[in-house]
Amino acid sequence: MDFKSLANEYQTPLYVYDFDYMKAQFDELKEAFRGRKSIIAYAVKANSNLSVVKHFAKMGSGADCVSIGEVRRALLAGIAPYKIIFSGVGKTDDEIREAIEKDILYINLESEAELGRVELVAKELGKQARISIRVNPNIDPKTHPYISTGLHDNKFGVDLNSAKRMYIKAKNSENLDPVGIHFHIGSQLTELDPIRESAEIVADLVRSLQALDIELKFFDIGGGLGVKYKDEETIKPYDYAQAILGTLTAMDMTILCEPGRFLTANAGYFLTKVLYEKQNGEKKFVVVDGAMNDLLRPSLYNAYHGIEAITDNTEDEREVDIVGPVCESGDFFAKDYKLPPLNHNDLLVVKSAGAYGFGMGSNYNTRGRSAEVAIEDGKARLIRRRESFEDLIALEQEFLEN
């Protein structure tokens, strides 16, 4: 990929996405579940650019959404309502109402209180709401604590006993139709055993519900498949699928899988130009035009991203901190990272930036967010223009006092 030409044409900071890589990842995961009824529902929060979502829609993908805004994005991008799931801990009545009216596949419930709200809204509409319940299997996913979601210490899902009560109540309700069961123990999962253990626990719950004449159609395994940022040992999609399927003996349910990071992370690159170098005592800094408002993961999680320098300098590498212009000491992309000496306008390519990059961006320090570019079949096209100052003040300017 000619990053230098892309940076010259579209300027920096810049996000670049390899759409062909995304398709290859999607196809590999779909193939892993071949022979079994399944829906791959792209987790829109990973990268919600409309062109990205449309790219997956054209492959037949569904959508896992965690806000009504994401549901709207999925529909606008061409994903069929019957392939859309609406998850998330805190849905408002208005969001629930819209989801029911849009007739999506199901609403994923995270608490007994939420079940009551969905039932009430559905009754007001004179409709029956299709629902799934997110079960918290209390399994340690062995990932970063900020992205762990399957323990009782986490805010997500309900315990097994609560889930059973909720299913019984839903079955007896005129306004609820329990069609699925869901679990998702965390993101960036690199070990198979926690996934298998969780699937076994949830599958046993399904069997106990069948004994109560509650027949569910969808076994929603969430997402979370880890990717390689540095030297992680990742799970092969085939092994992942076999671990899940092995727990569903004699159960005729449609598998629903919600990948996000797996599809987009390593398809994405963040390009940023060097402004200058500086030194404070023994500490060396490379100051670039990108910042934590563009790519937050290093500041938020201390996450590692591989970084490549595009420079004519062939001198020996030394350890530097790569930092941006934002007025925070937490504004960095890497610390003690080995790079050669760099000159003004040399280019840095931050890798694995296709998931939770642009979507977690902000306008902090009144900085416009980056442009986004797609590469498909060797051709580049703009899929989001760079924000201007006028964009940033558009919702405020009319309220200025004379």
Comparing CA positions, the residue from 240, 225, 242, 239 lying closest to residue 185 is: 225
Q: 259: annotated binding-site residue?
A: yes
Residue 290's φ and ψ, nearest 5 degrees, are -85, 165
**Is 327 part of the annotated catalytic residue set?**
yes
- Rounded CA gap, 356 and 317, in Å? 29
Q: Which residues does residue 181 pair with via DSSP β-bridges, in sequence order? A: 133, 219
207 CB-side CA count, 13 A = 11
Q: 15: annotated binding-site residue?
A: no
Considering the candidates 113, 211, 250, 327, report the single residue annotated as catalytic: 327
Q: 328: annotated binding-site residue?
A: yes
CA 171 to chain centre: 32
**Structure tokens of 66?**
């965690």
Q: 21: annotated binding-site residue?
A: no
Q: Which residues, at least 6 apart from 45, have a Cβ–Cβ distance to it below 8 Å?
A: 65, 66, 70, 260, 356, 359
- Rounded CA gap, 64 and 260, in Å? 9
Q: 258: annotated binding-site residue?
A: yes
Q: Which residues, at least 6 apart from 289, have a Cβ–Cβ distance to it below 8 Å?
A: 12, 13, 272, 273, 275, 324, 325
Q: 356: annotated binding-site residue?
A: yes
Which residues carry a binding-site annotation for substrate? 261, 297, 301, 328, 356
Active site residues: 327
Which residues carry a binding-site annotation? 224, 258-261, 297, 301, 328, 356
Which residues carry a binding-site annotation for pyridoxal 5'-phosphate? 224, 258-261, 356
